[in-house]
Structure 1
Amino acid sequence: MNTSQPVAPEPARHARAFVAPLVSTLLTLPMAAVAFFFVGLSPMACDSCNGAASDRFDASYEVAFPVFGFGLLVVLVLLLASWALPWQRRNAAARVWLALAAPAVVVLASVVFHGLVDWP
């Protein structure tokens, strides 16, 4: 008499589970680097400013830069989550959505940054 319990079949491994995170990573990291480059150069927009305009720009930049940095941190978390999900078919949709959200958050972080800065 066999007293062992029947073993449930292992969920099917998705053969192309790496595609969405890979494409997203290859698009998102250069986008984030370019966005960070321009955000880093943006204080030069007010090099010729003086007085109140310079003070307003500096105060708004001091708020906008950490917000942008937090946005890039969210991008990193999304990319890591898209790679870290188990490579099974049941996680395919979540993996694709996370992979699509990462470059979208880079764009959103840039738009929010440019909206927060009081440009001269």
Structure 2
Amino acid sequence: MTPPPDTARHPRAYVAPLVSTLLTLPMAAVAFFFVGLAPMACDACGGEVSDRFDASYGVAFPVFGFGLVVALVVLLSAWALPWQRRNAAARVWAAVIAPAAVVFDFIVFHGLVDWP
């Protein structure tokens, strides 16, 4: 007796999460590297400009960190979904959203920082 078609194990269920992992983790590492270097943009600043930059960076960095956690949770959910055919669409969507979340997080970070 064969299981119903939507509950059968999907033979290539690992492909979307694997590709997403290979994109998301390096993108997150590169984004974190550049976010970590961002304070150097205001090394030569002084006075009020430096204070505004430091205050905005103090808000933007934790927001960026939370965004990376969200991207990681979405990536893990792509792996954690049961490998059945009925979950294929949700798995692919989670796999697509994870790297997009890293890009969106980086854009939000740059929008929050008051650059000199």
Q: What are the superposed Cα offsets for residues 61-116 of structure 1, whole Å, 9 maximum, x if unpaired?
A: 00000000000000110010000000000000000000000000000000000000
Match of 1:106 among 102, 105, 109: 102
Equivalenced residue count is 114
- Partner in structure 2 of residue 60 of structure 1: 56
Structure 2 match to 1:22: 18
Unaligned stretches of 5+ residues in structure 2: none
Partner deviation per Cα, 1:28-78 (whole Å, 9 max, x = no partner): 100000000000000000000000000000000000000000000001100
Equivalent residue in structure 2 for 1:83, among 58, 79, 83: 79
Give % identity.
78
Match of 2:41 in 1: 45
TM-score (norm 1): 0.92
Unpaired segments ≥5 residues, structure 1: 1-6
Please tell me the residue identity of whatever aligns with 1:112. Answer: V
Q: Which runs of 4+ in 1 moved over 4 A?
A: none
Which structure's CA Rg is the greater one?
Answer: 1
Structure 2 distance, partners of 1:109, 1:24, is: 16
**What SS does the corresponding residue of 1:17 show, helix, strand or coil?**
coil
After TM superposition, the score normalised by the length of structure 2 is: 0.95
